Chains A and B, each alone.
Chain A
Amino acid sequence: DSGVTQTPKHLITATGQRVTLRCSPRSGDLSVYWYQQSLDQGLQFLIQYYNGEERAKGNILERFSAQQFPDLHSELNLSSLELGDSALYFCASSVDTLWAGANVLTFGAGSRLTVL
């Protein structure tokens, strides 16, 4: 157990629907990152939050949004789902010591989304 908890583990839904993925970071970690893993695109960085504020954005679609709450858990909202959104979505957390230059990310087990 990495200490990063993601729910749900599996989710099957239909095109056009909306889903929410949840992540609880490891205790003491202030940063949360979301990554999408698909067969054709590999691991793509979506977005990062630090202590409740958005810090960095990657290849995140406008149909997707995220937030980090005061208790530091984060949610990734995916709307108007398309077949191509089927993927494994990972959350990772870190202490976020940027000055050290080598922040280690701890990953959750992922949420597998299937869009039919």
Chain B
Amino acid sequence: DAGVIQSPRHEVTEMGQEVTLRCKPISGHDYLFWYRQTMMRGLELLIYFNNNVPIDDSGMPEDRFSAKMPNASFSTLKIQPSEPRDSAVYFCASSPVGQETQYFGPGTRLLVL
């Protein structure tokens, strides 16, 4: 398996623009997690899904952030409008039922100017 796939790997945009980050979990995994990593706040869980259903979105910082999982093999995290403080590395992770681990993607490095 190719592991968790994220795209794009790097994104540079201007303040006010819409940003869409994409994730393809490992096939057969039932759980999908979105994290944000910054120097100041470390690694934060934004939202996670079980069988495509959002279970906990309490980590989503504001209404500007939204996440969807239309099917078992695809999820998006959207920021609209983006702000400079959204600059971070965004990770997607997936996990199968019955295993005590989350498999992380390589991350998307977002810079909002």
Do A and B truly interact? no
